[in-house]
Amino acid sequence: MWKQVKKIIQQSNRFVITSHVGPDGDALGSELGLYYYLKSLGKEATILNATPPAKNFTFMGKNRAVKTYNPKRDRKLIDQADAVFILDISEWKRLGAVGEDVQQSNAKTVCIDHHICLKQLFDVQVIDNKAGSTGELIFRLIKDMKKKLNAKIAEPLYIAALTDTGSFHYSNTSPSTHTMVAELLELGVNPLNCYNQIYEQHSLERFRLLGQVMLNAQLECQGQLAWATVDKKLARKVNADIDDCEGFVEMLRSIQTVDVSVIFREESPQCTRVSLRSKKTTDVHKIARSLGGGGHKRASGITLNLPLKKAIPKVLGEAKKSFKKRGVK
């Protein structure tokens, strides 16, 4: 498959690069890494995402190369593209309006991802769910093409690896993650700066929201299932944004007895975002997939077109089924 990707890069001149809605560190990091690589080959490339970056990655969105898709302005870039790279996601639905327009164009589609994907949906698909981040796959591609990396390519790839491995402690962290990171640091990446920009820009309101959410957190299934909700009313009460709950699900997981943590976030009266994490045993991807979501074994998500009140029993019901199978009530 890499061979086909290389051939497409060699034979094409105009590229569009995209990723999932609410692009995060790995989405933007792998996009920017690939973007600077294509630029270094003298190619034309544009990054088009259906929605702006997730809150703690807005600093990456300030890069002029990253555009939030505006069909009137950008549709022609898709129509004129020889190839579209789809990174860190392997389904059409989560590409939003960009995906809809790409499907109507003649561009070749190349998907590079590390999520679990069971179908062939794109012209060329390189999926490695053992990779710690999609950034790692972009690094592999560039090395394979015998091209030297530079500092511009290095920083976004470092951010991709840093954020998707939970600062290098998740089970997807491998020797090759660290080998790559060593090389990126040699190129001048500043880890303190990267960390500061992503993890040390919180508002006090976010911590006030954390307090409120944790006050209402629940433990079930003999303490192995932890869950909490974040609704707009609660966020308003402490003057926080609903997006400020990023990271809460990992905190719930870190409770000693917990294997599965779930955060329910009210997007709108009819839409609930669900984040699932597991520590060691439960495959939360199975739970997410059964309800139309996806992700990884230890980290998955679902968007449900249901109000919070209806989403909660639906998801908890599935989670409890998986505990029950193991004799946990």
Contact positions vs ligand 5GP (CB under 6 A):
20, 91, 94, 115, 275, 293-296, 299-303
Q: How large is the C-alpha radius of gyration of the chain?
A: 20
Burial class of residue 315, CB neighbours in 10 A (0-12, 13-18, 19+):
buried
> Between 46 and 275, whose beta carbon lies closer to ligand 5GP?
275
According to DSSP, the residues that pair with 228 across neighbouring strands are: 263
Q: Does 88 bind Mn ion (CB under 5 A)?
A: yes
User: If binding is defined by CB under 5 A, does position 164 make contact with Mn ion?
Assistant: yes
Instruction: Return the number of the residue (99 or 132) whose C-beta is nearest Mn ion.
Output: 132
Nearer to ligand 5GP, 115 or 320 (CB): 115
Number of residues in contact with Mn ion under rule CB under 5 A: 4
Closest CB 14 distance from ligand 5GP, rounded Å: 27
Give the Cα-Cα-Cα angle 37, 43, 44 (nearest 5 degrees): 105
Q: Cα–Cα distances in Å, from 26 out to 62, 156, 205, 299, 315?
A: 16, 8, 26, 14, 26
- The C-alpha atoms of residue 23 and residue 30 are separated, in whole angstroms, by 11
183 or 283: CB nearest ligand 5GP:
283
Closest CA to 133 of 94, 172, 171, 169: 172
Least distance in angstroms from the C-beta of 285 to Mn ion: 13
CB of 255 to ligand 5GP, least distance (A): 18
Q: Does 31 help bind Mn ion (rule: CB under 5 A)?
A: no
Q: How far is residue 37's CA from residue 311's CA, in Å, rounded to a whole number?
A: 42
CB of 36 to ligand 5GP, least distance (A): 23
Minimum distance from residue 301 beta carbon to ligand 5GP (Å): 2
Residue 154 binds which one of ligand 5GP, Mn ion, none, with CB within 5 to 8 A depending on kind?
A: none
Instruction: Return the number of the residue (109 or 275) whose C-beta is nearest ligand 5GP.
Output: 275
- Token duo for residue 280: 């060691």
Sign of CA dihedral 19, 25, 31, 34: negative
Please give the span between the terminal C-alpha atoms of the chain, in angstroms, as a whole number. Answer: 45
User: Minimum distance between the CB of residue 289 and ligand 5GP, rounded to whole angstroms?
Assistant: 8
Nearer to ligand 5GP, 29 or 293 (CB): 293
Contact footprint for Mn ion (CB under 5 A): 26, 88, 134, 164
